[in-house]
Structure 1
Amino acid sequence: MTNFKALHSQYIQGEWRDGSSSRTMENKNPYNGEVIATYKAANLQDLDDAYQSANNVQKQWAKANPVVQREVFEKAVAYIEENHETIVETIIDEIGGTRLKAEFEIGLVTNMIKEASTFPLKMDGKILPSPIDDKENRVYRMPVGVVGIISPFNFPFFLSMKSVAPALGAGNGVVLKPHEHTPITGGTMIAKIFESAGLPKGLLNVITTEIAEIGDNFVEHPVPRAISFTGSTKVGKHIGEVAGRNLKEAHLELGGNSALVVLEDADIDLAVSAAVFSRFTHQGQICMSANRLIVHEKVYDEFVEKYVDKVSKLTCGDPKDPNTIIGPLINERQVQGTIDLIEKGIKEGANPVVKGKVEGNIIEPVVFTNVTPDMDIAQEELFAPVISIMKVSNDEEVLAYANDSLYGLSGAIHTTDVERGAELAKQMDTGMIHINDGTINDEPMVAFGGVKNSGLGRLNGEWSLDAFTTFKWISIQHKARQYPYS
């Protein structure tokens, strides 16, 4: 079994080495504050080394036999399966995720790698006709070259792999910068997996650093042609601006404020279970989490009663305990920001029918009723176990409430009339929506992404293949062409 916690260095040019910065960074367990590791941050020279390495090795990787490329991904899946328990323990210690969350995340990762393993065999092309006699037009699908990837702290193993594996599968080199709070699960663990699977050394590089050390250079560097970012809307807007200024394609998966709708004909027990899962999985630290529950007045009281009962039974505490459902938030700053929003919600007139205590980085569930769309707790993304419930009387109000948001990532509608649900779904301003299910869904072959402040572009399946490839037109004039002058 690999000791992933020992991977507290940079992975550059196929070597494990310290960063060149004088800045020292600490990696802490968010539950008990224990220091997992310290490491020296990467600086601008390390960043350049990483990009140049990816660029140099990519050219050989793109020429490799696609069957050989596919075998690397197959070996990566096998390596994860062999080290499953150690990976679970690492996710629990570094992220504060529960065992349930860790198992869920590993399943997402392996499915994503399996999908990416098909990409080398999909780098196809077309022969197209021409209005010019004796001309053959060939259009080839090509790797973009090098992809820069920045991942967040909440689902770092998966949200890094969501771009890393498809980018590699499409023949690209990669430089990955994980979040400074999750350098192992979001970065070095992925490097170790692919190193063990036989990926050519130097093709995948992982740098762990802070923005204060490298500024915008991760995006501005001349080597990467595409940037894939998952994180906050504020940072995503800045990255999109910098990428656009440098004529780089940006794929941005940003924040969310998803609505879960319960209509009057819904299966209430199912809706309650879906709503609890959609809010409290990983302490609500998921971009797709349901921040707002929009419930029809005819079933409002029944729903709230059953929802509160189920939420009140959720266990909070040590994520190592297999019975724990709600563990810690990632850091004190997230905790304080959540406390401030809770207090603001109360001042605005929302009713906290459930209000747990705060201990360390653990916030016990908070359930607000009497919430109106104009309140901050209904407008802001809550990356915590806090939920707002709103009452509506008809479909017009459902749409008005659901669409009254700057975000548009995910959503859900519960109804026994699935066609009614589908018609409402078409009118909701969101990139994804699920009928009679939760808001948290991500499948390796289905388009994933949001609208408005929730991001740009789509990933997964053919959409990831398009995101990390470009097209080259090569024409062949088989017989001499007659030009208008010579």
Structure 2
Amino acid sequence: MKYAEWNQLFIRGEWKEGKSSNKYINQNPYSKEVLAEIRLANKQDMDDAYASARDAQRAWAKVSATEKTAVIERAIAILEGKREELVPLMVREQGCTVLKANVEIGIATGFMREAATYPGRIHDEELSSITAGKENHLYCLPVGVVGVIAPWNFPLHLAMRSVVAAIATGNAVVLKPDLQTYISGGCVIAKVFEEAGLPSGVLNLVVSDLAEVGDYFIEHPIPRMISFTGSTAAGRHIASVTGKHLKKTALELGGNNAFIVLEDADLDQAVAAAMFGKFMHQGQICMAVNRFVVDRKVYGAFVERLTDKASQLAVGNPEDPNTVIGPLINRNQVDKILRVIGESVALGARIVLAGSVEDNLMAPTIVVDVKNDMPIAQSELFGPVAAIIPVDSEEEAIQVANASDYGLSGAVFSGSLERGEAVAQQIHTGMIHVNDQSVNDEPHIAFGGEKGSGLGRFNGKWSIEEFTTIKWISVQREPRHYPFS
């Protein structure tokens, strides 16, 4: 694939150069190879993209459910057909492993299949009235134009999740991917829908720098909804801006997910799950395990087994199919993690597996004797570092898990499924899994967090609700008698 060709915006059905005077150089996080250079979007480009979406949306909303579904199904076939060329692109742009790239493509197409059912599942409703001679009609309508802001860690999947749901429910979209992954999180999606025959203007792509455009993307008067996936700090700011402008907002934010191991847990099962839940994509997943909360009765055995397994993971070039741990997205992420580890060690935590660090590569690291108020337990690490907290009881485990500003996902391991679910019900998260790790996402199941982990729910019927609005029209079929006239 010629990466240099991915150097344009997509507005009103045309690939065009951005109008900014600034450019962005897209580099491989592992090799530092320059993949592409793009001239960025400025505010005028955003005006054009949003106007394009507004102009196209009304006609798209009137397209039959059958044709909307057909467009999405064609897009699925096109995306699947590009797997062979997309996997190396994603590996080089994201620094992800070959396994992760294949998994991400599979997840993205799975969500597209679910969204392809949405047009046929949107139904209007008629309800009775307390007023004689009145009919109440409730219409489920698109919100209009949706601005989608996507992150860098699962850019194809997390951009597609909102883009395809919005399109399926009759909206038009302006997509703004993260600069670091603008190809797999933006250009690829625009190209797939272009080839699928999506009408011009229904999907638009802008690639911009926050330092240049500021809040213009979310403040713009045309979009009636902003869908954002990213950090909690950025989400709080977006919510404050969209709240001021009374825009609908869907936020999927960060996590500080607890993996609870009770004293009756099957440790082999728990460790196997822990390995995936912690180290998949170097831990750069909002649902990744951030804190292991382990009963002291099995603490030593759990630490020993996890350390042994983690020390054997292959670290290195993500283009090698055997690699499990590739580079972090940039050096700033590495430095942040090292700082947090150092601060926590100064407070009494101990490193039992010290992963080597070279450029953006960080080998698995395990830190024990962690207390829940240490920086390593209160920060969303987004790296291959396991922080393990000992507790003396089930009650303390629940208390520790809940002592966080986040509430996205989690896990509970117990020899009793009933006990595990009873504990899970007491954890303040939007999602939690018994005898499984915390990284789970299914296209038809409600996905979202509590507290600092977000607002709203994605997937299935919940996405239909998020990307539509309800309009009440009443029809008075016979004269109504009023108290005065």
- What is the TM-score with the length of structure 2 in the denominator? 0.98
Q: Distance in 1 between matches of 2:4 and 2:287?
A: 28
- The aligned residue for residue 203 of structure 1 is 202
The answer (yes or no) to whether the contact 1:29–1:36 under 8 Å persists in 2 is yes
- 1:322-361 to structure 2, matched below 5 A, reads 322-361=321-360
1:308 matched to 2:321? The reply is: no
- The aligned residue for residue 69 of structure 1 is 68
Equivalent position amino acid for 2:257 in 1: S
The answer (yes or no) to whether the contact 2:4–2:37 under 8 Å persists in 1 is no
Cα-Cα RMSD:
1.0
Q: Distance in 1 between matches of 2:194 and 2:121?
A: 24
Shift of 1:480: 2.5
Residue-pair matches, total = 485
- The aligned residue for residue 85 of structure 2 is 86
- The aligned residue for residue 478 of structure 2 is 479
Change (3 A) 1:464 1:193: same
- The aligned residue for residue 247 of structure 1 is 246
Equivalent position amino acid for 1:105 in 2: E
SS of equivalent to 2:179: coil
How far does the alpha carbon of each residue in 1:35-60 deviate from its partner, in whole angstroms, 9 at most, with x for none? 10001000001001100101110100
- 1:8-27 to structure 2, matched below 5 A, reads 8-27=7-26
Q: Distance in 2 between matches of 1:181 and 1:325?
A: 21
The answer (yes or no) to whether the contact 1:5–1:184 under 8 Å persists in 2 is no
**Contiguous gaps of at least 5 residues in structure 1:** none
The answer (yes or no) to whether the contact 2:147–2:223 under 8 Å persists in 1 is yes
- 1:139-178 to structure 2, matched below 5 A, reads 139-178=138-177
Q: Distance in 2 between matches of 1:5 and 1:353?
A: 44
How far does the alpha carbon of each residue in 1:356-386 deviate from its partner, in whole angstroms, 9 at most, with x for none? 1111100111100111111110111101111
How far does the alpha carbon of each residue in 1:443-475 deviate from its partner, in whole angstroms, 9 at most, with x for none? 111111111111111111111110000011111
Q: Distance in 2 between matches of 1:485 and 1:41?
A: 62
- 1:264-343 to structure 2, matched below 5 A, reads 264-343=263-342
Shift of 1:318: 0.4
SS of equivalent to 1:473: strand
Shift of 1:413: 0.5
Shift of 1:483: 3.3
Shift of 1:3: 5.1
The answer (yes or no) to whether the contact 1:260–1:413 under 8 Å persists in 2 is yes
- Identity within the alignment, %: 51
The answer (yes or no) to whether the contact 1:407–1:452 under 8 Å persists in 2 is yes
- The aligned residue for residue 130 of structure 1 is 129
- The aligned residue for residue 58 of structure 2 is 59
Shift of 1:431: 1.0
How far does the alpha carbon of each residue in 1:214-252 deviate from its partner, in whole angstroms, 9 at most, with x for none? 111111111111111111111110000000000001111
The answer (yes or no) to whether the contact 1:409–1:430 under 8 Å persists in 2 is yes
The answer (yes or no) to whether the contact 2:6–2:38 under 8 Å persists in 1 is no
Equivalent position amino acid for 1:406 in 2: D
How far does the alpha carbon of each residue in 1:390-425 deviate from its partner, in whole angstroms, 9 at most, with x for none? 111211111111111111110000112111111111
SS of equivalent to 2:187: helix
Q: Distance in 1 between matches of 2:122 and 2:2?
A: 36
SS of equivalent to 1:453: helix
- 1:215-234 to structure 2, matched below 5 A, reads 215-234=214-233
Shift of 1:6: 2.1
- The aligned residue for residue 369 of structure 1 is 368
SS of equivalent to 1:298: helix
Shift of 1:202: 0.9
Equivalent position amino acid for 2:181 in 1: T
Q: Distance in 1 between matches of 2:103 and 2:4?
A: 20
Once structures 1 and 2 are overlaid, which stretch shifts more, 424-433 or 321-330?
A: 424-433
Shift of 1:106: 0.8
